[in-house]
Amino acid sequence: MHRFYVETPVDSDKAYLAGSEAHHLIHVLRASVGMEVVLIDGSGNEFDARVLHIERRSVELEVITRHAIDRELSFPFTLGVTLPKGDRQRWLVEKAVELGVHTLVPLQTEHSVLAPTPTSLARLRKVVIESSKQCGRNQFMHIDTPQSLETFQQRPTQESLQIVAHPTSGIPVSSIGDLRSSTLVDGLPVFAAVGPEGGFSDQEFEDFQRASWQAVSMGRRILRIETAAISLVAALTLR
């Protein structure tokens, strides 16, 4: 069933699509009155709805049923990452959504490739919506404002698992489970940090260790930022 994003939270028996969502429904899918679709509003619910009325640039729908369907991870996952460039950035966000990341924090580091602009962040938030429609997620991944590494390192305030990817040393990802079960209750927050391709600077890495982040090894090859980030997320969440 096709999924559409409604900007205004659905809280009555009517909903409206406008802009590109309406365009897609009207012109790509050639909707007719009575057609059934699924609406999401990022609230965690999805809604069965039926097309009531089609205008040139908007669609009115009747909301039939609300489903509170939880496709989230069983623990909140925050990924801090230096954003790569262009397509790779878009791709990283798409995959993070698919894998259930709760919050993505763009990190400003010594070797960062670029500082995200408000425009690029807005573009990435659109990717979040597109990807959520596609993968069946009903809560949107939050993309935070860019943060200094210092701020991010101090972000975990309660008991949590804090993992920093290190290209060449650290425990294998497979040991994280042991670490987790020996020290933590399941459901507690997980924070992961992935640096730029040159890695975090020595000073930055020391700061992580001083702030009690656990280094994990990323294998023998040089992973691109988005590969390291998605690999780490996958290894920590497919459990």
Can you give the binding site for a copy of itself, defined by CB under 8 A?
70-73, 87, 91, 95, 98-100, 134-137, 172-174, 177, 216-224, 227, 230-232, 234-235, 237-239
Distances 90 to 93, 122, 163, 204 between C-alpha atoms, Å: 5, 11, 23, 26
User: Residue type for 84, please?
Assistant: P
Instruction: Name the 3-class secondary structure at 135.
Output: helix
Q: Which is nearer to a copy of itself, 107 or 225 (CB)?
A: 225
Shortest Å, Cβ 183 to a copy of itself = 16
Enter the tokens of residue 24. 């897609």
For residues 154 and 168, which CB has a smaller minimum distance to a copy of itself in the complex?
A: 168
Strand partners, 31: none
Task: State the pairing for strand pair 142-143/103-108.
Answer: parallel
The residue (of 72 and 110) whose beta carbon lies closer to a copy of itself is: 72
Q: What are the beta bridge partners of residue 109?
A: none
Tell me how far, at minimum, the Cβ of 238 lies from a copy of itself, in Å.
4
SS3 label, residue 65: strand
The nearest distance, CB 93 to a copy of itself, in angstroms, is 12
**Shortest Cβ distance from residue 216 to a copy of itself (Å)?**
8
